[in-house]
Amino acid sequence: MLKPPEHQVAGHRAQDGQLGPLVDGCGIFYKPLQGDGRGDAEVAFYTSLFSHPAVPPHIHSFFPGFHGTLVLPASDASGPRPHLALDDLLAGLRSPSLIDLKIGGRTWPPDCPEDYFQKCIVKDRESTSVALGFRVSGVQIQDPAGADAFWRPSRAAVRRYMVEDVRRVLRQFVSANPPSPDQKPDCALASAVYGGPDGVLAQLMELKAWFEEQTLFHFYSASVLLVYEKDAVVAAAGQQAGKSSGVRMKLVDFAHVMEGQGVIDHNFLGGLCSLIKFMSDVLNDPEAGGRESIKVQLSCEDGSLENLGI
């Protein structure tokens, strides 16, 4: 049976009669084709990515598997609608921690409509996109209180994140202690999630190497989605023989991918480099919890952690 994903952290949601993605519980994530040509652009991108001879096969693993399109009843009750059928990146995970990081200092493609440009540039300037080359779009972290408890700041709170908030959240994301005004993130899982041969940093470096060369695509408003499950990471760290921690890192959201026309995607590449630097800092200085006394908006959706003065 199709239902809205339990753990979606950003983007359009199939809630309250809105159009959004659905999952089948068997490993497929169905994303409705959006209007204004965005859905068609996303289908064209996936088709090109998986068939273009100049895309090295190992690069495919940085993207969700693509299984074509399927007409399904839309979540907004508007009737049958084509959906992209993608691998569900959270399949098999009961208590995932995940973060959506929108990459690029500018999220608007060239020649987009003026009103869209105006909307995007305001968000880019008011968020950390311009300053850092990326921003947090959404985050959920398993709460140590229980496997089914999560810390998930509201969309409005995430939109207000400034540079120090981003630094803090990237530390909190790999910490075993809960977000609190009294404690710095302990970064206990940093080496297991960000470090190691199959950790996020190693994967980002491999992706960056491709972006240093590829001139096929320019990715505007696409995200890096990081997913891990604490129990699996802790279990892998306790084993000698390099058991995989199962940390998943994929790119998502290709509604605004443009042809690269032989030019490096310096906007996306710059954002990747910046993210790599931020994560390296977490690994190299795991004790630091970020500047003290910063007013960040670490609110939960239930409001219980609203306005922590961290």
Ligand X SMILES: O=P(O)(O)O[C@@H]1[C@@H](OP(=O)(O)O)[C@H](OP(=O)(O)O)[C@H](O)[C@H](OP(=O)(O)O)[C@H]1OP(=O)(O)O
Ligand Y SMILES: Nc1ncnc2c1ncn2[C@@H]1O[C@H](COP(=O)(O)OP(=O)(O)O)[C@@H](O)[C@H]1O
Binding of ligand X by 137 (CB under 6 A): yes
Pick one of 69, 140, 214, 221: the residue that binds ligand X (CB under 6 A): 221
Nearer to ligand X, 83 or 102 (CB): 102
How far, CA to CA in Å, does 296 sit from each of 154, 158, 187, 293, 307? 12, 9, 19, 9, 7
Binding of ligand X by 208 (CB under 6 A): no
Closest CA to 85 of 167, 163, 22: 22
299 Cβ neighbours under 8 A, 6+ residues apart: 153, 154, 156, 157, 305, 306, 307, 308
Nearer to ligand Y, 7 or 184 (CB): 7
Binding of ligand X by 89 (CB under 6 A): no
The DSSP line for 254-278 is -TTEEE-TT---HHHHHHHHHHHHH
Say which DSSP state 19 is in: -
Question: Closest separation between CB of residue 209 and ligand X, Å?
Answer: 26
Report the distance separating Cα 169 and Cα 180, nearest Å. Answer: 12
SS3 content of the chain, % helix, strand, coil (to 5): 30, 20, 50
Binding of ligand X by 165 (CB under 6 A): no
Pick one of 12, 67, 159, 184: the residue that binds ligand Y (CB under 6 A): 12
Considering only residues 54 to 93 of the shown chain, the ones binding ligand Y according to CB under 6 A are 64, 86-90
User: What's the distance, CA 159 to chain centroid?
Assistant: 14
Binding of ligand Y by 255 (CB under 6 A): yes
Binder of residue 64, out of ligand Y, ligand X, none (CB less than 5 to 8 A by kind): ligand Y
Binder of residue 214, out of ligand Y, ligand X, none (CB less than 5 to 8 A by kind): none
Size of the site for ligand Y (CB under 6 A): 22
Binding site for ligand X (CB under 6 A): 10-11, 34, 38, 102, 123, 137, 221, 253, 255
